[in-house]
Amino acid sequence: MGEVVGAGLLAHVPTIMLPEKTRRELNEGKEISLVTGLRRLREEVFDTLDYDTVVVLDSHWATTVEFVVTAQPRRAGLFTSEELPRGMRRIPYDYPGDPELAHLIASYQDKHATWITAIDDPYLPVHYATINLWSYLGVPEKRWISIGVCQTAEVEDSLRLGRALGDAIAASDRKVILIASGALSHTFWPLRHLRAHEASDPRHIFSDAAREADLERIEWFKAGDHARVLATMPEFFPHKPEAGFRHYLMMIGALGEGDCTARARQYGDYENSVGTGQVHLWFDRPEGGFPRPRPTDASADPYPYPYPA
């Protein structure tokens, strides 16, 4: 029987891929703690934990009519970002996939009344929400797969994907790490103002209200109060959490939703990235394991929260 052995809500901001000299120039002479936080996470967790596969819930990969999970036996190449090619270009990557787990995840779509497809096309693009974190945390022999957020998915849909993911892991023989790769609040400064707000200090977050909403949720995560995070999603939406916070919703769907009380450990500081709120939060496996995913009642919607237009 498989299990989730740990989970993280981790920042993938492009800044972490810049040379240290450039990072310091942008950050008032200081190293950004998102970099040192990932290095600590690698040393304290990824280098010590017994796991087989990492599943990245990739907030930069937006699908439309279904959830998609990568099913290639291996991903390798050079990555250049179409969004920020100056800072993320020709990044080498080479890691094994996990086709067996990918197809197992897709097989649970009917049970949870959703749509999931495993795709093994070698030309399927990769995204920097996966590549940046693999660059810091990846180990050559460990399998990595990614699941895209579905841009038409509401809260309940993302939770259903998570439930299918959790059931598939339990039915496998895999020890799995889940990574919800993405930010908290996610409003950028306009271009003409952006370069005045590149430093990491949270005073550069786009608004005081967004910063306060982020910090409030960080405290709830540290207290293990995932139920409160879920219950207050409508209040968080105006602060434009990245990808509608679907990366987190997919992760917590696999971990039992409001039944999950895993407390977060923070790696590095809460930091700004040109207006957006970034943090690394790690959830250790509780004694006895994470709660099993909730069953899906296709006729009910316990989280009837539509995203703002």
Read off the pLDDT band of 299 (50, 70, 90). Answer: confident
The 10 Å CB-count burial string (b at 16+, else e) for 209-245 is: ebbebbbebbebbeeebbeebbeebeebbebbbbbbb
What is the rounded average pLDDT of the residues 85-110? Answer: 97
Q: What phi and psi values does residue 10 have, to the nearest 5 degrees? A: -120, 145
What number of other Cβ atoms are within 10 A of residue 154's Cβ? 18
d(CA 280, CA 14): 14
| pLDDT at residue 301 in the model | 81
Read off the pLDDT band of 309 (50, 70, 90). Answer: low
Domain extents in the chain: 3-284
d(CA 181, CA 252): 13
Q: What phi and psi values does residue 90 have, to the nearest 5 degrees? A: 50, 45
Cβ-based burial of 191 (10 A; exposed 0-12, middle 13-18, buried ≥19):
exposed
- Average pLDDT, rounded, for the chain: 97
Q: What topology does CATH give the domain 3-284?
A: Protocatechuate 4,5-dioxygenase; Chain B (3.40.830)
> Which pLDDT tens digit goes with each residue over 129-184?
999 999 999 998 999 999 999 999 999 999 999 999 999 999 999 999 999 999 99
What number of other Cβ atoms are within 10 A of residue 25's Cβ? 12
Read off the pLDDT band of 62 (50, 70, 90). Answer: very high
d(CA 174, CA 22): 40
The 3-state DSSP class for residue 58 equals strand
**Claim: this prediction has a pTM higher than 0.85:** yes
> Which pLDDT tens digit goes with each residue over 192-210?
999 999 999 999 999 999 9
Read off the pLDDT band of 308 (50, 70, 90). Answer: confident
